[in-house]
Amino acid sequence: MMGDKLLFENVSKIYGEGDNKVTALDNISLNVRAGEFVAIVGPSGSGKSTFLSIAGALLSPSKGRLLLNNEDITSLSSKELTRVRLEKIGFVFQSSNLVPYLTVRDQLLLISELIGKRDKKTVKKADELLSHLGLGHRADHLPEALSGGERQRVAIARSLMNDPEIILADEPTASLDSKRGRDVVEMLAHEVKSRNKAAIMVTHDERMLDLCDRVVNITDGKVFG
C-alpha cells in the first residue's frame, strides 16, 4: 500500500488577533499519497496560497500538524525547515523563477550547491534530467533564449533535482497558452507517476483538471472533495 507523502491534520492558519482576526485555513485535514497528483482549486482569497505555503514549509500552521513523509515538521526551527525545503520539496512557480544569468544546467545545480553537494554525479544527474525532458540541447543557454514552455520544463527539471518527496506547483500554466500549458502539466503528471512522487498543483485552469487524480476545492479556508 502506498504511504502518505503529505498529511495535513486539523490545520488552521489564523492571522491577526481580536477584531482583526482572519482565518485563512479552517481545520483542514488532507492527505496526498505517493504517485498521486492533486489539483487545488478555489476562488481568489480562498486560502490556496496559504495552503501551498504551509505544504512547502514556508509558513507554520497556527493549529494542527503537518507531516511530510511521516516526519512531523510542525514545530521545527527555521533552520530545520530550510533543510526540509531543500531536501524534500520541489517547487514549480507561476513564472518559472529562473535566475536570468545562469545557464539551464546551472539552474538545476543551484539546489545542489545550496545543499553543498555539487559534484560530477550531480552534473550528470542534471544533464540526464534535461535530456529526459527534451532540453539537452538547451543546457548551455540562458533563460532569455528559451520559450515559455521550455522555461517551465526547466523549472520541472529543477524541482526534481533534489529527489523530493513532494512537488508543489503554483499556477504552472499561468504564463502559457493552452497547448504549452497542457504539455507542461502532462509532463509533470508523468514525472509524478514514474518517480512515485506526490504533487499538488494550485490552478485556475480547469482544462488541466482531467490530468490530475483528484481535485480538491478550497473555499473560505475549508476543503471540499
Tens-place pLDDT, residues 118-142: 678 888 989 988 988 888 999 999 9
**HSE-up (13 A, CA, CB side) for residue 190:** 11
Q: How many structural domains are present in the chain?
A: 1
For helices 78-88 and 104-115, give the axis angle rounded to 10 degrees: 140
**pLDDT for res 189:** 92
Tens of pLDDT, residue by residue over 71-108, are 899 988 989 998 888 889 999 887 767 888 999 999 98
**pLDDT for res 1:** 38
Tens of pLDDT, residue by residue over 22-66, are 889 999 999 999 999 999 999 888 889 899 999 999 989 999 999
Residue 85 to residue 89: CA distance in whole angstroms: 5
Which residue range is the domain that position 135 belongs to? 4-224
User: Among 84-88, 141-145, 172-176, which is the least confidently predicted range?
Assistant: 172-176
CATH of the domain at 30: 3.40.50.300
**pLDDT for res 96:** 67
Residue 94 to residue 101: CA distance in whole angstroms: 19
Q: Give yes or no for residue 209 having a pLDDT over 70.
A: yes
Backbone φ/ψ region at 12: left (φ over 0), alpha (ψ -120 to 50), beta? beta
Q: Who wins on pLDDT, 176 or 150?
A: 150
The one-letter amino acid at 16? G
**pLDDT for res 121:** 87
Sign of CA dihedral 87, 222, 215, 69: positive
**pLDDT for res 2:** 52
**pLDDT for res 161:** 87
Residue 136 to residue 141: CA distance in whole angstroms: 10
Q: What is the mean pLDDT of residues 178-206?
A: 89
Average pLDDT, the chain: 88
